[in-house]
Amino acid sequence: MATQIVMDSTGDSRHFFDRDDHNGLADAEQRFRKLTGKGFTAATRTAAGDLKLIRSFDPTAEETLFYPRLVGG
Protein backbone atom coordinates (compact mmCIF):
# COMPACT_ATOMS: atom_id res chain seq x y z
CA MET A 1 0.00 0.00 0.00
CA ALA A 2 1.49 3.33 -1.09
CA THR A 3 0.94 6.59 0.76
CA GLN A 4 0.69 10.22 -0.22
CA ILE A 5 1.20 12.59 2.73
CA VAL A 6 -0.02 16.16 2.33
CA MET A 7 1.35 18.76 4.75
CA ASP A 8 -0.49 22.07 5.15
CA SER A 9 -1.35 24.68 7.76
CA THR A 10 -3.78 22.29 9.49
CA GLY A 11 -1.28 19.44 9.87
CA ASP A 12 -1.12 16.49 7.53
CA SER A 13 -3.48 14.14 5.74
CA ARG A 14 -2.65 10.71 4.40
CA HIS A 15 -4.03 9.12 1.28
CA PHE A 16 -3.44 5.39 0.81
CA PHE A 17 -3.75 3.57 -2.50
CA ASP A 18 -3.03 0.17 -3.97
CA ARG A 19 -0.69 0.47 -6.95
CA ASP A 20 -2.31 -2.61 -8.51
CA ASP A 21 -5.73 -0.91 -8.51
CA HIS A 22 -6.04 1.14 -11.70
CA ASN A 23 -8.66 3.49 -10.20
CA GLY A 24 -6.60 4.07 -7.06
CA LEU A 25 -3.51 4.73 -9.14
CA ALA A 26 -5.40 7.18 -11.36
CA ASP A 27 -6.72 9.02 -8.28
CA ALA A 28 -3.19 9.24 -6.84
CA GLU A 29 -1.81 10.63 -10.10
CA GLN A 30 -4.63 13.16 -10.28
CA ARG A 31 -3.93 14.21 -6.65
CA PHE A 32 -0.23 14.60 -7.55
CA ARG A 33 -1.03 16.85 -10.52
CA LYS A 34 -3.55 18.91 -8.52
CA LEU A 35 -1.20 19.52 -5.59
CA THR A 36 1.89 20.29 -7.64
CA GLY A 37 -0.25 22.55 -9.83
CA LYS A 38 -1.21 24.48 -6.70
CA GLY A 39 2.45 24.98 -5.87
CA PHE A 40 3.14 22.08 -3.51
CA THR A 41 6.58 20.49 -3.65
CA ALA A 42 6.62 16.69 -3.99
CA ALA A 43 9.34 14.43 -2.62
CA THR A 44 9.97 10.73 -2.11
CA ARG A 45 12.20 9.05 0.44
CA THR A 46 15.43 7.41 -0.74
CA ALA A 47 16.77 4.12 0.61
CA ALA A 48 19.04 6.14 2.91
CA GLY A 49 16.01 7.99 4.29
CA ASP A 50 16.73 11.32 2.59
CA LEU A 51 14.12 13.25 0.61
CA LYS A 52 14.39 13.44 -3.17
CA LEU A 53 12.38 16.07 -5.04
CA ILE A 54 10.27 14.74 -7.88
CA ARG A 55 8.64 16.63 -10.72
CA SER A 56 6.37 13.89 -12.09
CA PHE A 57 4.18 11.19 -10.60
CA ASP A 58 6.12 8.05 -9.64
CA PRO A 59 3.73 5.07 -9.40
CA THR A 60 6.45 2.94 -7.77
CA ALA A 61 7.07 5.31 -4.83
CA GLU A 62 6.16 3.79 -1.49
CA GLU A 63 5.65 7.22 0.07
CA THR A 64 5.28 10.67 -1.47
CA LEU A 65 5.35 13.79 0.68
CA PHE A 66 3.74 17.05 -0.45
CA TYR A 67 4.54 20.30 1.32
CA PRO A 68 3.72 23.91 0.48
CA ARG A 69 6.46 26.13 -0.83
CA LEU A 70 7.79 28.53 1.75
CA VAL A 71 7.54 32.21 1.01
CA GLY A 72 10.07 34.48 2.63
CA GLY A 73 10.58 38.14 2.55
Residue 72 has pLDDT above 90, yes or no: no
φ and ψ at residue 32, rounded to 5 degrees:
-55, -50
pLDDT for the residue numbered 17: 95
The pLDDT tens digits for 34-62 are 999 999 999 998 888 899 999 999 999 99
59 alpha carbon, distance to own chain's centre: 10
Q: Are strands 63-68 and 2-8 parallel, antiparallel or unpaired?
A: parallel
pTM of the shown model: 0.89
Going along the chain from its start, the domains and CATH numbers come out as: 2-68 (3.10.20)
Name the 3-class secondary structure at 25: helix
